[in-house]
Structure 1
Amino acid sequence: MKIGLYFGTFNPIHIGHLIIANHMVEHSDLDEVWMVVTPHNPFKKKNSLLDNNHRFELVYRATENYPKIKPSNIEFKLPQPNYTVYTLAQITEAYPNKEFCLIMGEDNLKSLHKWKNYETILEHHHIYVYPRISEGKTETQFDKHPKIHKIAAPIVQISSTMIRNAIKDKKNVAPLLTQEVWEYIDEMNFYKK
């Protein structure tokens, strides 16, 4: 079984994330997509980040109706800050009969050469890339790399930051979230301050 790992803080998960995950599982050779909730990205300010378990609950609720898309909290048990190469090693060891691939936006592919042990990642895993509108160029070494697959997914211009700011400003963001996610955010009063 081939699993695509889609990493993110998912703060909160929105329909853009689901559109990409669903497109990847329906229009590539991936059997499932696991939404890996990352505990804390060192490049993001932590003050606006919901607790790990609340973000996992949001992902769980968002993916409940999609049998091929699953929530994953594997990184919660790993030492922080964590690197993708370590997560891949752990998850491969935990599920030896599954093949794991990375899902990333084109913007992340542009900085892949700066990732810790990126050569090891490419040696052992395929990478599925979805388009993003972003600045800069992809390293030429990745242009025709046999393990990098560009998937013509829809370009989604929705961000979790935009949603958090809109909630704080008392705007209606319900169309950008699944009903289950919106109800949980509203019930818990998340992002309102």
Structure 2
Amino acid sequence: MINSQKRICLYFGSFNPLHRAHLCLAQFALDSLPCDEVWLVLSPLNPLKDRATQLPFAWRAYYIRQAIRNEPRLRLVTLEEQLPLPHYTVRSIRALRLLHPEYDFSLLIGSDNLRLIDRWYDYQRLLKTIPLHVYPRPGYPMEDILPTALPGATIYLHPEAPQMDLAATDLREAALSGEDLSGETAVPELWEELRTQLLSLQS
């Protein structure tokens, strides 16, 4: 029997801010992976990152909406803002499945995250319940990232996915220093607004 469920690839991130590499990966997923849509799941706060450099959630959401407004197959998901702390990927996926039982979900992650997947909360349940599509990240070659024991996991490696050594940190630092890297952002016309938001974090 053919699976008629719409296929959704989930792409989690703090997107602080969303940039060109994020969009390239999302487009790669749309063009090359078995998915009909990519949902950008915006995280309110990454516990591993500095709160002082975190742009406001509402502004990051606004920025993403501007970036994807002409691509109907990309969707912003702000669910985690309503979920109780702490935010764990496995819990967020469970909530999405409860809200959207008609969809078939997969998860897009970097090779750096797969290498450290055993540090994720309840990672074994996560791996048993959702397929992973893995894209390369600098310093984490695809042939050397699989942990030794991932029982029940369905993992697809995509070494052909675009690999860009571009980080949101670089864009934030450039904006604050006066360097123009607007061409690397997801919404170049909002470069000055991004800079204003970052400066407000320092006040």
Fold in common (TM above 0.5) = yes
Q: Flag structure 2 segments of 5+ consecutive residues without an equivalent.
A: 1-5
Shift of 1:145: 7.0
- State the partner residue of 2:55: 50
Taking a change above 3 Å as real, the CA distance of residues 134 and 145 of structure 1, as seen in their structure-2 partners, is farther
Q: Does 1:87 align with 2:92?
A: yes
Q: How does 1:13-162 map to 2 (within 5 A)?
A: 13-135=18-140, 137-142=145-150, 147-151=154-158, 152-162=160-170
**Letter paired with 1:184:** L
Shift of 1:48: 0.8
Q: 2 CA distance for matches of 1:132 and 1:17? A: 12
Q: Flag structure 1 segments of 5+ consecutive residues without an equivalent.
A: none
**Letter paired with 1:147:** T
Deviations, residues 139-165 of structure 1 (Å, cap 9, x unaligned): 1335x9761111220111110000000
**Letter paired with 2:197:** F
- State the partner residue of 2:189: 183
Calculate the aligned-residue CA RMSD, in Å. 1.8
- State the partner residue of 2:175: 167
Number of equivalences: 190
TM-score, with normalisation over the residues of structure 1?
A: 0.92
**Letter paired with 1:101:** S
TM-score, with normalisation over the residues of structure 2?
A: 0.88
Contact kept, 8 Å, 1:41 with 1:81, in 2: the verdict is no
Partner-residue secondary structure (3-state), 1:190 = helix
**Letter paired with 2:169:** T
Deviations, residues 49-99 of structure 1 (Å, cap 9, x unaligned): 011110111111111122211111011101122101110110000000001
Contact kept, 8 Å, 2:11 with 2:38, in 1: the verdict is yes
